[in-house]
Amino acid sequence: MGREKVRRMGLGLLLCVGGCGGEAVEGGRAAAAPWEELVGEYARGEVVLRLLERGDTLRILADSATEVALEVARGDTLRAIAEPRRWWAVVRDSASAVSGLRDSAGVWERREPGQSVFRIEPQRPVGTLRREALLASPPMEGPGLLPPDLLDVQALDTTIRLDVRYASADNFLGEAVYASARAYLQRPAAEAVVRAHRALAASGYGLLIHDAYRPWHISWVFWEATPDSLRRFVADPAQGSRHNRGAAVDLTLYDLATGRPVTMPSGYDEFSPRAYPDYPGGTSRQRWHRDLLRSAMEAEGFQVYPYEWWHFDFGGWERYPILNLTLEELGG
């Protein structure tokens, strides 16, 4: 995480800026950023600037290592505190929304902030892919795997919430691929999720699940629909997904007081670097939420996927077989 360090003390995260010598966000809630409308990515050609917030300072990140602290000068002008001659003017559209940054060389266009539903253009129609997927067969596996013991996670604790995106059109394909919204996991993983959920309550949060067990044929659809350049975000069906084994879960936090999901540095299923668990951008509040989720899940034997802050694999996932039962077949 670069200069930012996270000390994990149970679920009491201490988010330290510059090595825990200065300001810190500790325990319950992180302070809301006063610059949330500015925070995000700005591009000129292939070069990207990131405006981010750490503690009480707005910063601009021009590469993977160098952050420049900013101050807000007259109007909508941002100046480097250490180099006042370096400046960026905020560009706004007709509705006064931030649309870019301007410096002496031209305009940096604001990229999608990353909280809306991410979409791709499927390589072939999803309906066609689903029909083909149902005719395909999962890869053969050797002996010695554990017998499946999938449990409905919400049946173990009804305060765990569901927002199963693949049962609606609010997903990266833009079409529902599940007939129902359910979340199943192998028994040890399901029980571990419940423990993480209950531990988070002390900090005022609960877990909201986007996906858990996923039939193999759905992974086949995802792979075939996704362009080669984005396939690091989907599992190769030739290998099988940890979701197919019932040993991976996609989730986020919700606020117990309001019932609303928290805001993370990216939206769910966003195929971009903003989804990486160590992405440095966004607000300190967003990163604090992301790290709180990770800390809770790691404490119960899960490991985060390197490209997705929301995806967690349960330890020992390789002991379970690849499954292709539909959610309806599991539900009886």
* Residue 103 phi, psi (nearest 5): -125, -170
Quote the crossing angle between the two packed helices 216-225 and 126-135, to the nearest 10°.
140
**Count of Cβ atoms closer than 10 Å to residue 276 Cβ:** 17
Strand partners, 27: none
114 vs 274: CA distance, rounded Å = 8
- Helix/strand/coil for 28: coil
- Residue 169's region, left for phi above 0, alpha for psi from -120 to 50, else beta, is alpha
| Six-digit token string for 184 | 């199943």
The residue whose two tokens read 């858990």 is: 212
68 vs 306: CA distance, rounded Å = 27
Q: Read off the DSSP letter of residue 167.
A: G
CA 38 to chain centre: 20
With respect to CATH, is domain 31-110 assigned 3.40.50.1220? no
38 vs 100: CA distance, rounded Å = 9
Question: Could you write out the DSSP letters of every residue in 280-291?
Answer: --B-HHHHHHHH
Domain locations in the chain as residue ranges: 31-110, 126-331
Q: Where are the beta strands (DSSP E) in the chain?
A: 5-9, 12-16, 24-26, 40-44, 47-54, 57-61, 67-72, 77-80, 87-92, 98-103, 106-110, 150-152, 161-162, 184-186, 205-211, 248-255, 302-305, 308-314
Residues of the chain scoring pLDDT < 70: 1-32, 63-64, 113-115, 332
Residue 160's pLDDT is what?
Answer: 98
CA angle 84, 35, 26 (to 5 degrees): 110
Residue 111's pLDDT is what?
Answer: 86
251 vs 209: CA distance, rounded Å = 4
Sign of CA dihedral 258, 264, 268, 270: positive
Residue 308 is a catalytic residue: yes
Residue 3's pLDDT is what?
Answer: 32
Contact by Cβ (8 Å): 112, 103:
no
Contact by Cβ (8 Å): 98, 90:
yes
Select 126-331's CATH number: 3.40.930.10, 3.30.1380.10, 3.20.20.70, 3.20.20.150.
3.30.1380.10
Out of 53, 224, 300, 308, pick the active-site residue: 308
8 vs 291: CA distance, rounded Å = 9
Residue 113's pLDDT is what?
Answer: 63
Strands 161-162 and 205-211: parallel
Residue 23's pLDDT is what?
Answer: 34
